[in-house]
Amino acid sequence: MAMLIEFFNQSNESPDLKHSTPHLCCGNEELSMKILEGNTVGIDLGTTYSAISKLDEEGNPTLIPNADDRIITPSVVLLGDDGHVLVGPSFERISIEDPTHIVEAIKRQMGNPEFYVVYQNKKLTSEFISALILKKLKQDAEARIGPIGNAVITVPYYFNDVRRKATQDAGRIAGLNVIDIINEPTAATLSYAWNKGELGRADLVQKEKSILVYDLGGGTFDVTVVSYTPTHFRVLATDGDVMLGGLDWSQRIVDHIAEQFRRKFGDDPREDPETLRIFSQEAEDAKRQLSKKTQVPINVYYKGKTLTVSLSRADFERMTSDLMQRTKDTTELVLQQAGIRLEDLDDVILVGGSTYMPVVEHMLREVCKREPSRELQPEEAVSQGAAIHAAILEAKATGGQGQIAQAVIKRLQSVQTSDVNSHSLGVKLTDPNDRGRKMNHIMIPRNTEIPYSTTQRFVTNSPNQQRIHVHILEGETSDPDACSQIGDFRVYDLPENLPKGSPVELSYQYDSSGRISAVAKELTSNKAASTEIVRDSGLDDEGIDVFQRLADEYKVE
């Protein structure tokens, strides 16, 4: 998350930065979420596949099969003509449906206010579509384990505040009490430590280990370095791309095949939505086969013409080399930002189905100078870690009155986690070299361990300034307009004849639960104002109720 604060006076100018005095905020806030009756689960809401897990009585994180007895469900929604909604339909079913009724990769649209799907004369948002996927997971799981009351849902570490709120809204629309949003690499690390028998074992030697989590899913990508002991997990650095994933590798195959077809027959199969969908499925299948085979044939048909293309693994890796290079650059950057030597890296963990591509292991072996671990199942680890985190929160909130063994609860209660902010927090200032230009001054850089607070001093840049307008945004770029606004507030009634250069102090805090509080004070008069931003939800209760009633109108299968 990142915060950007902008001051405006009557002439729409901003104060200049004078100096800063940052300091670390100490202590964690008490847990305050409400645990409802019913099971508490962890959900990996993925771009291409989703999964739901729960700790069993022995404390093992277990994936709950869906109605088709599969432990992962395709994150595909088919909007039927009669109000029936099919989540995770088979390719055979999809192939006979109108492509405009099929919604895929909705995770990439989370938090996008301009995205919607028109269905039965209603505009369905990304939150609502995601809620249908969550509703399917919930109802299938409840058929096996009984009522579900609470859930932890995972998101990529690089999701910003808007995307996280949208994810939380989706859970609420689906009828879940979302007790936390957890970052996917953190969830994977919990799963890793549990799998090794270390998690919560206060009796073990508290030797700190460092691991790199490389998470390449169907639509998003994260790299995170985590340092941990059996009872304390600390994120050192993270980076990623919410628009990079296995879908982009598959698309390169689609484009390659389509270009071959166009050159031979003069027609471009991508112009027909139904054919494009078939091409996309063929490309996805070929990509998966190339993880095991060195060459695969691809047969495509369009307008009565057939083409067979033989695609080698070497050709596939060559046509996607720039995509892999992007993940390599990010991996090297995160290692650098974490300040960890390669010889001190204890393990490299692969998460996400796209890590099955052999080139991923080859690249990581080259960068990290060690063999990546295959201890965890890439498609299952995040959901399992979310279930562990959910059980930890339940154990702490209920005083250990949970459904799992008391020995396991005692272990879970001892676990603490520390995160970093994945987006920088900054302040918008007038560029001293160009009075008409605004600039983003970073106050809390990304990858700063939270909780954290900072105080910095600014000065007014015009005489007789009457008010201060603080805009709270998040973003990395120097251009404030490229950042996202997440809140604002004002300080009014400044003293008359306030001279130019009067001191203004900014203080704000980013706590471990994701809350941002900001205070602005004009020091001559001690006039102050503040605000707090809490990731409760992007929608208000009324908006959630409207979407819940709409979801109830549809029969989700």
Q: 327 and 289 in contact (C-beta within 8 Å)? A: no
Q: Does 1.10.3720.10 match the CATH number of domain 4-29+421-525?
A: no
Residue 129 DSSP one-character state: H
Q: Which CATH architecture has domain 39-196+375-414+541-556?
A: 2-Layer Sandwich (3.30)
Closest CA to 300 of 314, 318, 279: 279
Candidates 1.20.200.10, 3.40.50.300, 3.30.390.50, 3.30.420.40; CATH matching 206-374: 3.30.420.40
Taken in order 203, 208, 214, 219, the sign of the CA dihedral is: positive
CA dist 359 and 320 (Å) reads 10
Residue 456 token pair = 């910095």
Domains 4-29+421-525 and 39-196+375-414+541-556 alike in fold = no
Closest CA to 480 of 534, 431, 433: 431
Taken in order 386, 390, 393, 396, the sign of the CA dihedral is: negative
Dump pLDDT digits (tens) for 209-237: 999 999 999 999 999 999 988 888 888 98
The confidence band for 410, taking pLDDT boundaries of 50, 70 and 90, is low
Mean of the pLDDT values across residues 376-404?
A: 84
CA angle at residue 111 from 73 to 270, to 5 degrees? Answer: 65
How buried is 67 (Cβ within 10 angstroms: 0-12 exposed, 13-18 middle, 19+ buried)? middle
Residue 268 neighbours by CB distance under 10 Å = 14
Mean of the pLDDT values across residues 39-51?
A: 96
CA dist 388 and 361 (Å) reads 27
HSE (side-chain half, CA atoms, 13 Å) at 411: 22
pLDDT at 5 > cutoff 70: no
CA dist 134 and 106 (Å) reads 12
Q: What was the pLDDT predicted at 11? A: 34
The confidence band for 27, taking pLDDT boundaries of 50, 70 and 90, is very low
The confidence band for 362, taking pLDDT boundaries of 50, 70 and 90, is very high
How buried is 387 (Cβ within 10 angstroms: 0-12 exposed, 13-18 middle, 19+ buried)? buried
How buried is 542 (Cβ within 10 angstroms: 0-12 exposed, 13-18 middle, 19+ buried)? exposed
Q: What was the pLDDT predicted at 480? A: 85
Domain extents for the chain? 4-29+421-525, 39-196+375-414+541-556, 206-374
HSE (side-chain half, CA atoms, 13 Å) at 478: 4
Instruction: Report the chain's terminal Cα–Cα distance, integer Å.
Output: 35
Q: Which residue has the higher pLDDT, 492 or 3?
A: 492
pLDDT at 18 > cutoff 60: no
Sequence-distant (6+) residues with CB within 8 A of 475 are: 2, 4, 423, 424, 426, 440, 482, 483, 484
Mean of the pLDDT values across residues 46-58?
A: 92
Mean of the pLDDT values across residues 423-446?
A: 77
Closest CA to 358 of 422, 405, 292: 292
The confidence band for 335, taking pLDDT boundaries of 50, 70 and 90, is very high
